[in-house]
């Protein structure tokens, strides 16, 4: 290769090229089958002799398993077998979810089904396998399991106090992880500050509620000693390794296939004990076993997230410059850290991300992660960002108000300058290039500020309380091994793509990143079409099959475009080069004088078509005798990509939320919402906007409605979709999305990630909007979700 | 107590006769007995709307209908609705506006939207949101879906002139 | 969850139903719209042995007006209630309430008989029945009974129906020019069960309230007739002072429980707000509170 490729040289910034698909809102080819009912989700798959699993789940938050009597269950028509923890342990090893780089982290070994104790209400304890799901549930109903209830630890505030129930005595206490980040001298800065404001924030435990529940079919074929798993997961290669390792099989004998996945949001990137149990049961039975969590078990077994109490202080000088943040975060997870990503990452993110958009000298932030006898928690869309952003932006607004400064002016004075990069935050996060100020200015052009403020004042006279809130945020994407790999987890931060051209000139790309609806396959097709030079309709995409795609990390932390896309681009460019080398031989022209456009090899300077890809394909695949003997002619190229310079590709954005609070009822009406996001180079604006909208609504849900509510004994009270409230169409606002593009220089593509930005900023924007509405009434809310009861309490009405 | 019930009904225009367990709901009947996997169960207690299908011309929650009670009924699923072409324009609008991401809610959502096209052709944007208020979508945040329904209604009104 | 094993029979007439009941006794559970019953099966909260489908019984269907009453068959679906011209004319409160119930797909199946028989404390129709002074026509093998709505709801999810009895129809006194009715509720999301709701029916005499029935839902074990608030309005012109008097009387009328939405004080407070908002509609111009 002679030419050094740059984004400009490969035409990434030239929208006039016929197949310059980068930056175009190309409709996703996947959508047609989705709206016609022709998708294939894991539960749609039926295999010969397939059995169905159902679980008896612990009714207690904490209990000793005294005895399991399966005799009646085995008599139920259709029931084939009953499995206890001891049965599964014969073929399956337990796991411990810790990461070496989270110093001091500890967690107890976890089996798929526990051997002695159930440690959360909802933990799968006994499995019944039958010829139908209904029969399996009948079998579960006929089980006689004796539990001895034990005291439960259900209050994170007392988890480390004397008298706490130490859930795993061998660990010594309930402390999973603790870390403090320090920069500068917080004590001195706060003592000398013009103003110090403090508040306690609560983000409530909530969960993902993917509409397609967790689904798995494990098929162990005894004749071949292979395990094929159809799995609604985000990370098939990771799961391949997990199943192999814990079921004591060679990795090469395990294949994980993702069919269409009905939503994930991080919920489906974790290792679930019931799913591993299903694989173990198939191993034992030598037959396929299917398990689809129903909605009730989803609420008590899908990972929960964001159960935090955060005490925050901010110090400012007389000019409104932030002098420092001092933050103490406490979070209650489940009785085990979740494998393999661990449940300490969310708290760790809070430490990494508080204060994120701002330039200030002094920082102290501690996270304390403690065990609870509640559903295990782990990474869920935007992991830690909604919490850090709510604390940061909440404190900034409170400080602005305390010194009588406009909240926008306060942000202008403190956001990291757009020309300050590279920049390292007080918490040690390295930013390559962000656009806080450009994004703010763009937002202010989108939000009709003057009209809204005038309306607000007018309405206040009539006793109607409207409010406008802002939230600037950073969002971590494109993770390097610094997130998990260095901790010893077999989680791949690199990714690969194989691109090949078939005889008719069509192109196939196989990629290690995966699709759950965000449009991964669409952007891979766009990138490859651009890289090779073919119409996007001529590109087929294969994802989600460990036997077929290059080894990759799947989709999480918004890495699909930035990492998966880069691998796809580089392999597409390599294929193009390969094709041009053959074309050059055929045309007796130098490859450097040729290009490919819309499936035709063309003269680069004039654009004149010279030979079609289908003609080259015919010759290479069927008339190889006519080509020079030593001409390399593999029309298949693989490239793998890993980020090298920055541990994460940070993105940024800013949101505005406009609400009306009915102060008589405490009800919040969402009037309108805006978001400007900078995810680097935008590959498909439509898809980015829709990801942002969906992410915002998900964030609003967590701030306004969603709460996994427990009573004092560790009983989960929100067990159906009637008690756990998710956002629905009638209450959601119109959302306006704007873009700023600061490409990363780490890749040719320049794309960072976009999937989690909406969720990162929405709760903070909502909180600040509600507080802006309530300000004349001297009421402040900082505890989510912002239910009518909380708002009425803040108003002193109840 | 007979555990199985014989039913003969029309599904997507085809006459089917089956013997079903009394406890089988319509969604499981469609998926397990007839292989019509386009209809989904998302909660099985009538709240999420993923199971919305058409029975005797009206949208219903398929998870709250006994298959055994449908002797003589006419059922239309997303597959049948698609094949009929009745909402081809709506489905195209979904594609153009990316009103489906993971797609799990889409069959039920299209069914509910088809109901708006049929019975409320003058629906305003707010009315569209209200009519779709029983269909949960986690991915899109609803706006693109509302856009797709609104643009279809408008195009139909303009086409009719 | 998948439903437990059940049997299924269809009753084609009331006589058919009595025969099936005689054969199976308490094991026979009546199935109408199924929107509540079948959901309870999904939770495995109820385990009926035999479901008896009554949805084809012609005698339970139909809406007819005559003799000053509107007779609504028990099998009338909520969607029908919402669009029927006779209901709109003679019982506008029901026409206003029906669209608040759940969502279109549920309204196509759920029935008024089912809603009243199930008696969910947060449901709209039981409160409307009490506000309208409706009469529940109950039928059984032993014949018909007429039960005033105010006596029909006897406790949490409990009604005056005897074992084997079903609701055949609901009779509502037709609205007159003197009737004013309204239903207001506070619900987190469209279609949700209300945190608190109010169905009210006023009989006016000129500018004065001759009689007022304020029936709350979501604030107790069933529909709660706020007799004190009603009495506070009787004979008065609907001005701010009258509304305030009605609100104050609620303190005696209501004893709400705590629930997932908040403490009892919250429901008390919301009830007062609902009274204000419902009556606002009927206050003379200029009297409506800001």
Rounded CA-CA distance C29/C22 in Å is: 12
Q: Looking at A131-231, list the stretches that DSSP marks H as alpha helix, in order from N- to C-terminal side.
A: 133-142, 186-191
- pLDDT of amino acid A17: 64
Average the pLDDT over C271-286 and give the result: 90
Inter-chain touch A134–C188, beta carbons under 8 Å: no
Phi, psi of B148, deg, nearest 5: -65, -40
pLDDT digits (tens, 9 = 90+) for A365-391: 999 999 999 999 999 999 999 999 999
Nearest Cα of chain A lies from the Cα of B96 at a distance, in angstroms, of: 6
Helices A565-587 and A520-532 cross at an angle (nearest 10°) of: 30
The verdict on pTM exceeding 0.95 is yes
Rounded CA-CA distance A342/A105 in Å is: 9
Q: Which chains touch A (3 or more CB pairs under 8 A)?
A: B, C
Best mutation target, B24, B86, B102, to test chain A (most A CBs within 10 A)? B102
In sequence order, which residues have a C-beta less than 8 Å from that of residue A152 and are 6 or more positions away?
Answer: A60, A61, A62, A165, A373, A713, A714
| Chain B residues within 8 A of A720 when measuring between CB atoms | 43, 45, 47
Q: In this complex, how many residue pairs, one in chain A and one in chain B, have their CB atoms less than 8 Å apart?
A: 174
Sheet arrangement for strand C196-205: C179-186, C196-205, C208-217, C224-225
Asked if B127 and B120 count as a contact pair (C-beta separation under 8 A), the reply is yes
Asked if A674 and A446 count as a contact pair (C-beta separation under 8 A), the reply is yes
Asked if C53 and C12 count as a contact pair (C-beta separation under 8 A), the reply is no
SS3 (DSSP) at A632: coil
Rounded CA-CA distance A522/A278 in Å is: 32
pLDDT digits (tens, 9 = 90+) for A566-612: 999 999 999 999 999 999 999 999 999 999 999 999 999 999 999 99
Domain boundary among B60, B77, B94: B77
Domain boundary among B32, B47, B77: B77
Sheet arrangement for strand A539-542: A539-542, A507-511, A495-501, A636-641
In sequence order, which residues have a C-beta less than 8 Å from that of residue A640 and are 6 or more positions away?
Answer: A494, A495, A496, A497, A550, A551, A567
- pLDDT of amino acid C285: 65
Inter-chain touch A787–C189, beta carbons under 8 Å: no
Burial class (CB in 10 A: 0-12, 13-18, 19+), A317: middle
Asked if A635 and A579 count as a contact pair (C-beta separation under 8 A), the reply is yes
Q: Looking at chain B, list the stretches that DSSP marks H as alpha helix, in order from N- to C-terminal side.
A: 26-28, 78-84, 88-97, 106-119, 125-131, 143-160
CB nearest to B1's CB, from C42, C50, C189:
C50
Inter-chain touch A722–C265, beta carbons under 8 Å: no
Q: Could you give the C-alpha distances from A575 to A178, A349, A513, A525, A550, in angstroms and in order?
A: 49, 39, 20, 14, 16
Residue A503, number of CB atoms within 10 A of its CB: 15
Task: Give the CA count within 13 Å in the CB-facing half-sphere of B129.
Answer: 16
| Chain B residues within 8 A of C50 when measuring between CB atoms | 1
Confidence band (pLDDT; 50, 70, 90) for C47?
confident
DSSP C237: B
Average the pLDDT over C204-212 and give the result: 96
Q: Is the dihedral of CA C71, C74, C75, C77 positive or negative?
A: positive
C-alpha torsion angle, residues B98, B101, B105, B109 (rounded to 10)? 0
pLDDT digits (tens, 9 = 90+) for A740-780: 999 999 999 999 999 999 999 999 999 999 999 999 999 99
Inter-chain touch C1–A787, beta carbons under 8 Å: no
Best mutation target, B98, B113, B125, B132, to test chain A (most A CBs within 10 A)? B98
Inter-chain touch B45–C39, beta carbons under 8 Å: yes
Evaluate whether A42-150+209-301 and A494-641 have a shared fold.
no
What CATH number did the domain enclosing B110 receive?
1.10.150.120
pLDDT digits (tens, 9 = 90+) for A287-345: 999 999 999 999 999 999 999 999 999 999 999 999 999 999 999 999 999 999 999 99
The residue that leads in pLDDT, A470 or A7, is: A470
Interface residues on C facing A, Cβ-Cβ cutoff 8 A: 1-5, 43-44, 186, 188-193, 195, 260-263, 265-266, 269-270, 273, 276, 290
- pLDDT of amino acid A70: 98
Tell me the percentage of chain A whose pLDDT exceeds 70: 98
Interface residues on C facing B, Cβ-Cβ cutoff 8 A: 1-8, 10, 27, 31, 34-35, 38-39, 41-43, 49-51, 53, 55, 79, 102-106, 108-109, 189-191
| Chain B residues within 8 A of A657 when measuring between CB atoms | none
| Chain C residues within 8 A of B58 when measuring between CB atoms | 79, 108
Q: Is the dihedral of CA A307, A313, A314, A318 positive or negative?
A: positive
- pLDDT of amino acid A13: 61
Inter-chain touch B64–C38, beta carbons under 8 Å: yes
Phi, psi of A711, deg, nearest 5: -90, 180
CB nearest to A797's CB, from C43, C195, C269:
C269
Average the pLDDT over A257-261 and give the result: 98
| Chain A residues within 8 A of C3 when measuring between CB atoms | 134
Asked if B94 and B112 count as a contact pair (C-beta separation under 8 A), the reply is no
Closest CA to A532 of A9, A3, A10: A10
- pLDDT of amino acid A16: 61
Closest CA to C29 of C45, C8, C13, C12: C8
In sequence order, which residues have a C-beta less than 8 Å from that of residue C67 and are 6 or more positions away?
Answer: none
User: Please, what is the Cα angle at B97 between B91 and B101, to 5 degrees?
Assistant: 80
Average the pLDDT over A471-490 and give the result: 94
Residue A576, number of CB atoms within 10 A of its CB: 26
Q: Which chains touch C (3 or more CB pairs under 8 A)?
A: A, B
Rounded CA-CA distance A605/C105 in Å is: 62
- Of all residues in chain C, the one with the smallest CA distance to B128 is C104
End-to-end CA distance of chain B, in Å? 58
CB nearest to B101's CB, from A690, A726, A728:
A690
| Chain C residues within 8 A of B149 when measuring between CB atoms | none
Nearest Cα of chain B lies from the Cα of C2 at a distance, in angstroms, of: 8
Domain of residue B97: give its range: 85-160
Q: B68 and B44, same structural domain? A: yes
Rounded CA-CA distance C212/B142 in Å is: 42
Residue C144, number of CB atoms within 10 A of its CB: 11
Whether the predicted pLDDT of A1 surpasses 70: no
| Domain total of chain B | 2
Whether the predicted pLDDT of C288 surpasses 90: no
- pLDDT of amino acid A10: 76
Asked if A41 and B104 count as a contact pair (C-beta separation under 8 A), the reply is yes
- pLDDT of amino acid A41: 98
Residue A71, number of CB atoms within 10 A of its CB: 10
Rounded CA-CA distance A69/A65 in Å is: 11
| Chain C residues within 8 A of A717 when measuring between CB atoms | 260
Tell me the sheet residues that pair with B8: B17
Rounded CA-CA distance C64/A769 in Å is: 51
Tell me the percentage of chain A whose pLDDT exceeds 90: 97
- Which residue ranges make up each domain of chain A? 42-150+209-301, 383-475+648-794, 494-641
Instruction: Please give the CATH topology (third level) of the domain spanning A383-475+648-794.
Output: Aldehyde Oxidoreductase; domain 4 (3.30.365)
DSSP C238-275: -SHHHHHHHHHHHHHH--PPPBTTB-HHHHHHHHHHHH
Whether the predicted pLDDT of A258 surpasses 80: yes
Residue A606, number of CB atoms within 10 A of its CB: 9
Rounded CA-CA distance B3/B16 in Å is: 20
Interface residues on A facing C, Cβ-Cβ cutoff 8 A: 132-134, 137-138, 141, 294, 296, 462-463, 664-667, 705, 709, 717-718, 720, 722-723, 725, 727-728, 730-731, 787-789, 792, 797-798
Asked if C229 and C275 count as a contact pair (C-beta separation under 8 A), the reply is yes
Q: B17 and B42, same structural domain? A: yes
User: Please, what is the Cα angle at A375 between A370 and A376, to 5 degrees?
Assistant: 55
Q: With an 8 Å Cβ cutoff, is B113 touching chain A?
A: no
Q: Looking at A12-117, list the stretches that DSSP marks H as alpha helix, in order from N- to C-terminal side.
A: 31-35, 71-75, 85-89
Nearest Cα of chain C lies from the Cα of A208 at a distance, in angstroms, of: 19
What size, in residues, is chain A?
798
Asked if A429 and A227 count as a contact pair (C-beta separation under 8 A), the reply is no
Q: B104 and B68, same structural domain? A: no
| Chain A residues within 8 A of C261 when measuring between CB atoms | 787-789
Q: Could you give the C-alpha distances from C164 to C19, C138, C141, C171, in angstroms and in order?
A: 11, 10, 8, 21
DSSP B32: I
> In the CATH scheme, what architecture does the domain A494-641 have?
2-Layer Sandwich (3.30)
Closest CA to A387 of A311, A301, A333, A313: A311
Q: B94 and B53, same structural domain? A: no
- pLDDT of amino acid A9: 77
Instruction: Please give the CATH topology (third level) of the domain spanning A42-150+209-301.
Output: Aldehyde Oxidoreductase; domain 3 (3.90.1170)
Phi, psi of B55, deg, nearest 5: -125, 125
Q: Which chains touch B (3 or more CB pairs under 8 A)?
A: A, C
Q: In this complex, how many residue pairs, one in chain A and one in chain C, have their CB atoms less than 8 Å apart?
A: 66
Whether the predicted pLDDT of A437 surpasses 50: yes
Task: Give the CA count within 13 Å in the CB-facing half-sphere of A62.
Answer: 19
Inter-chain touch B69–C53, beta carbons under 8 Å: yes
Asked if A752 and A679 count as a contact pair (C-beta separation under 8 A), the reply is yes
| Chain C residues within 8 A of B49 when measuring between CB atoms | 103, 105
DSSP A710-759: B-TTS-B---STTTS----GGGPPEEEEEE-----TTSSS-B---TTHHH
Inter-chain touch B61–C3, beta carbons under 8 Å: no
Rounded CA-CA distance B139/B50 in Å is: 13
Nearest Cα of chain B lies from the Cα of C211 at a distance, in angstroms, of: 35
CB nearest to A732's CB, from B40, B78, B142:
B142
Q: B103 and B58, same structural domain? A: no
| Chain A residues within 8 A of B77 when measuring between CB atoms | 37
* Most distant CA atoms of chain A, gap in Å: 88
Asked if C136 and C127 count as a contact pair (C-beta separation under 8 A), the reply is no
Rounded CA-CA distance A579/B105 in Å is: 42
- Of all residues in chain A, the one with the smallest CA distance to B104 is A262
Nearest Cα of chain A lies from the Cα of C44 at a distance, in angstroms, of: 10
Best mutation target, C103, C109, C187, to test chain B (most B CBs within 10 A)? C103
- pLDDT of amino acid C52: 97
What CATH number did the domain enclosing B66 receive?
3.10.20.30
Q: With an 8 Å Cβ cutoff, is B88 touching chain A?
A: no
- pLDDT of amino acid B1: 43
Inter-chain touch A36–B91, beta carbons under 8 Å: yes
CB nearest to A137's CB, from C1, C193, C290:
C1
- Of all residues in chain C, the one with the smallest CA distance to A788 is C261
CB nearest to A709's CB, from C191, C260, C263:
C260
Q: B70 and B36, same structural domain? A: yes
Average the pLDDT over B7-18 and give the result: 98
Nearest Cα of chain C lies from the Cα of A782 at a distance, in angstroms, of: 17
- pLDDT of amino acid A352: 97
DSSP A200: E
Rounded CA-CA distance A520/A540 in Å is: 12
Helices B88-97 and B106-119 cross at an angle (nearest 10°) of: 130
């Amino acid at each position: 290769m002679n030419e050094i490729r740059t984004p400009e040289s490969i035409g990434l910034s030239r929208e006039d090229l016929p197949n310059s698909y980068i930056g175009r809102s190309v409709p996703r080819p996947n959508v047609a089958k989705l709206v016609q009912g022709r998708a294939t989700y894991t539960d749609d798959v039926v295999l010969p002799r397939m059995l169905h699993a159902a679980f008896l789940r612990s009714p207690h938050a904490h209990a000793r398993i005294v005895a399991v009597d399966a005799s009646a269950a085995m008599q139920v028509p259709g029931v084939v077998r009953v499995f206890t923890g001891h049965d599964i342990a014969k073929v399956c090893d337990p796991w411990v979810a810790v990461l070496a780089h989270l110093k001091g982290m500890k967690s107890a070994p976890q089996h798929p089904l526990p051997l002695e104790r159930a440690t959360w209400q909802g933990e799968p304890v006994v499995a019944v396998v039958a010829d139908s799901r209904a029969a399996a549930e009948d079998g579960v109903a006929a089980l006689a399991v004796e539990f001895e209830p034990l005291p439960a630890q259900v209050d994170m505030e007392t988890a480390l106090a004397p008298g706490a129930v130490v859930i795993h005595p061998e660990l010594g206490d309930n402390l999973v992880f603790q870390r403090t980040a320090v920069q500068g001298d917080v004590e001195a800065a706060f003592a000398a500050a013009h103003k110090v404001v403090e508040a306690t924030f609560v983000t409530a435990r909530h969960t993902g509620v993917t509409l397609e529940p967790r689904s798995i079919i494990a098929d162990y074929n005894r004749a071949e000693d292979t395990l094929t798993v159809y799995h609604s997961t985000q990370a098939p290669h990771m799961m391949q390794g997990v199943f192999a390792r814990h079921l004591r099989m060679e990795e090469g004998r395990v294949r994980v296939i993702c069919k269409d996945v009905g939503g994930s949001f991080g919920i489906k990137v974790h290792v679930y004990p019931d799913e591993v149990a299903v694989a173990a049961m198939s191993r034992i039975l030598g037959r396929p076993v299917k398990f689809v969590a129903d909605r009730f078990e989803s609420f008590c077994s899908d990972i929960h997230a964001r159960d935090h109490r955060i005490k925050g202080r901010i110090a400012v000088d007389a000019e409104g410059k932030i002098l420092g943040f001092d933050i103490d975060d406490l979070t209650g997870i489940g009785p085990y850290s979740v494998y393999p990503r661990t449940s300490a990452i969310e708290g760790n993110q809070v430490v990494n991300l508080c204060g994120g958009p701002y330039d200030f000298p002094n920082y102290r932030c501690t996270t304390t992660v403690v065990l609870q006898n509640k559903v295990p928690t782990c990474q869920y869309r935007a992991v830690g960002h909604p919490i850090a952003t709510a604390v940061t932006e909440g404190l900034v607004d409170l400080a602005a108000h305390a010194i009588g400064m406009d909240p926008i002016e306060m942000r202008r004075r403190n956001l990291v300058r757009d020309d300050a990069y590279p920049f390292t935050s007080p918490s040690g996060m390295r930013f390559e290039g962000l656009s806080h100020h450009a994004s703010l200015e763009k937002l202010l052009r989108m939000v009709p500020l003057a009209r809204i403020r005038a309306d607000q004042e007018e309405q206040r006279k009539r006793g109607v309380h409207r409010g406008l809130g802002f939230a600037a945020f950073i969002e971590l994407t494109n993770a390097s091994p610094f997130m998990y790999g260095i901790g010893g987890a077999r989680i791949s931060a690199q990714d690969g793509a194989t691109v090949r051209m078939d005889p008719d000139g069509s192109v196939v790309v196989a990629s290690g990143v995966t699709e759950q609806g965000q449009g991964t396959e669409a952007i891979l097709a766009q990138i490859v079409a651009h890289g090779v030079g073919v119409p996007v309709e001529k590109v087929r995409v294969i994802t989600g099959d460990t036997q077929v795609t290059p080894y990759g990390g799947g989709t999480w932390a918004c890495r699909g475009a930035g990492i998966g896309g880069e691998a796809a681009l580089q392999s597409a460019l390599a294929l193009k080069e390969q094709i041009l080398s053959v074309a050059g031989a055929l045309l007796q022209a130098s490859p450097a004088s040729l290009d490919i456009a819309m499936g035709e090899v063309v003269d680069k300077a004039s654009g004149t078509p010279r030979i079609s890809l289908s003609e080259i394909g015919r010759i290479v695949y069927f008339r190889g005798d006519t080509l020079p003997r030593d001409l390399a002619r593999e029309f298949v190229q693989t490239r793998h990509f890993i980020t090298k310079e920055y541990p994460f590709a940070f993105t940024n954005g800013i949101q505005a939320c406009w609400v009306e609070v009915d102060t008589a009822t405490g009800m919040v009406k969402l009037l309108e919402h805006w978001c400007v996001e900078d995810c680097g180079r935008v590959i498909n604006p439509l898809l980015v906007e829709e990801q942002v909208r969906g992410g915002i609504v998900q964030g609003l849900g967590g701030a306004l409605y969603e709460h996994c509510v427990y009573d004092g004994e560790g009983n989960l009270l929100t067990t159906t979709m009637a008690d756990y409230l998710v956002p629905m169409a009638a209450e959601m606002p119109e959302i306006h999305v704007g873009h700023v593009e600061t490409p990363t220089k780490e890749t040719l593509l320049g794309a960072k990630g976009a999937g989690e930005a909406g969720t990162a900023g929405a709760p903070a924007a909502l909180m600040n909007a509600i507080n802006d509405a309530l300000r004349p009434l001297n009421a402040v809310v900082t505890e989510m979700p912002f239910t009518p009861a909380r708002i009425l309490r803040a108003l002193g009405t109840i | 107590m007979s555990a199985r019930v014989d039913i003969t009904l029309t599904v997507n225009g085809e006459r089917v006769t089956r013997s079903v367990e009394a406890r089988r709901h319509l969604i499981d009947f469609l998926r397990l007995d007839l292989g019509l996997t386009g209809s989904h169960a998302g909660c099985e207690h009538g709240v999420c709307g993923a199971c919305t299908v058409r029975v005797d011309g009206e949208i219903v929650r398929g998870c709250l209908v006994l298959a055994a009670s449908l002797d003589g009924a006419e059922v239309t699923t997303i597959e049948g609705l698609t094949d009929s072409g009745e909402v081809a324009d709506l489905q195209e609008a979904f594609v153009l506006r990316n009103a489906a991401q993971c797609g799990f809610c889409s069959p039920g959502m299209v069914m509910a939207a088809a109901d708006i096209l049929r019975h409320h052709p003058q629906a305003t944007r707010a009315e569209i949101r209200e009519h779709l208020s029983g269909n949960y979508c986690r991915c899109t945040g609803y706006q693109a879906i509302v856009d797709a329904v609104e643009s279809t209604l408008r195009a139909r009104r303009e086409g009719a002139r | 969850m998948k439903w437990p094993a059940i049997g299924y029979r269809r009753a084609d007439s009331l006589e058919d139903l009595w025969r099936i009941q005689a054969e199976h006794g308490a094991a026979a559970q009546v199935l109408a719209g199924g929107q509540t019953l079948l959901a309870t099966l999904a939770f495995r909260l109820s385990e009926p042995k035999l479901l008896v489908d009554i949805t084809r019984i012609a005698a339970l269907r139909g809406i007819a007006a005559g003799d000053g009453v509107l007779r609504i068959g028990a099998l009338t679906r909520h969607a029908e209630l919402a669009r029927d011209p006779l209901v709109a004319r003679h019982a506008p409160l029901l026409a206003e309430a029906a669209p608040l119930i759940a969502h279109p797909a549920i309204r196509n199946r759920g029935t008024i008989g089912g809603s009243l028989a199930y008696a969910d404390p947060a449901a709209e129709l039981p409160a409307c029945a009490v506000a309208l002074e409706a009469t529940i026509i109950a039928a059984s093998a032993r014949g018909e009974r007429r039960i005033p709505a105010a006596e029909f709801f006897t406790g949490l999810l409990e009604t005056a129906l005897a074992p084997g009895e079903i609701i055949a129809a609901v009779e509502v006194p037709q609205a007159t020019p003197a009737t004013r009715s309204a239903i207001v509720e506070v619900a987190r999301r469209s279609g949700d069960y209300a945190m608190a709701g109010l169905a009210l029916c006023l009989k006016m005499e000129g500018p004065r309230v001759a009689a007022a029935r304020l029936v709350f839902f979501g604030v107790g074990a069933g529909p709660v007739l706020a007799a004190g608030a009603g009495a506070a309005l009787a004979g008065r012109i609907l001005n701010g002072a009258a509304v305030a008097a009605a609100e104050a009387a609620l303190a005696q009328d209501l004893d709400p429980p705590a629930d997932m939405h908040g403490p009892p004080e919250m429901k008390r407070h919301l009830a007062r707000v609902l009274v204000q908002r419902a009556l606002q509609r009927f206050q003379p111009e200029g009297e409506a509170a800001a």
